[in-house]
Amino acid sequence: MANLLFYLFAFLTLACAGLVVVSKNPVNAAMGLLLSLVGVAGLFVLLNAALLAFVLLLVYAGAVVALFLFIIMLLDTRPGKQPAFQKTTLAAATLGGALLMVGVLSLYHRAQFPAAVVPGAGPTLKNYAEQLFTTYLLPVQVVGFLLLIAMLGVIVLSKKLHSPEDVS
């Protein structure tokens, strides 16, 4: 049963990630991103990392995708005529695909060697919370404030200015 769920969540994740890449409509791409994140959260649950799955759904699927959709709707993007690919774009895409394949193949060959696992070692939720609310409290608040400023900047920049003649 676990293998079937793994293949189901892996297929969901890959198919929706492909939808994000090939979709011409930005709203459909954002929905594909949301479903892809749900698939990744399902994979985390299968790895007994329920907290990580919950945080992924809460932060990324809940907040970031909602912010993406808000910005997409605010900017009023409409699909238009796509320019043709230039030679440099095609060369960069080919180089990126080749590097991706080299990385996947190196991970495949690396996975054939047995890895030493130390049971019981590693951070706990209590350690994360203690560090987050003591040592890293100021950086987390600064990042949150910068995200708020960025969101307000997008709203101000995308607002259509109306001349006084258009108001009447």
Dihedral sign computed on CA atoms, order 14, 15, 20, 21: positive
- Model pLDDT, residue 116: 53
**Mean pLDDT by groups of 10 residues along the chain of 168 residues:** 91 93 87 92 88 84 81 69 73 86 79 55 70 80 79 72 57
The two three-digit tokens of residue 109, written as one number: 């060959």
Terminal-to-terminal C-alpha distance of the chain: 65
- Model pLDDT, residue 112: 61
Task: Return the number of other C-beta atoms located less than 10 Å from residue 60's C-beta.
Answer: 15
Q: Which residues contact 79 (CB under 8 A, 6 or more apart)?
A: 24, 25
d(CA 137, CA 128): 12
- Model pLDDT, residue 123: 63
d(CA 15, CA 5): 15
pTM above 0.75, yes or no: no
- Model pLDDT, residue 99: 87
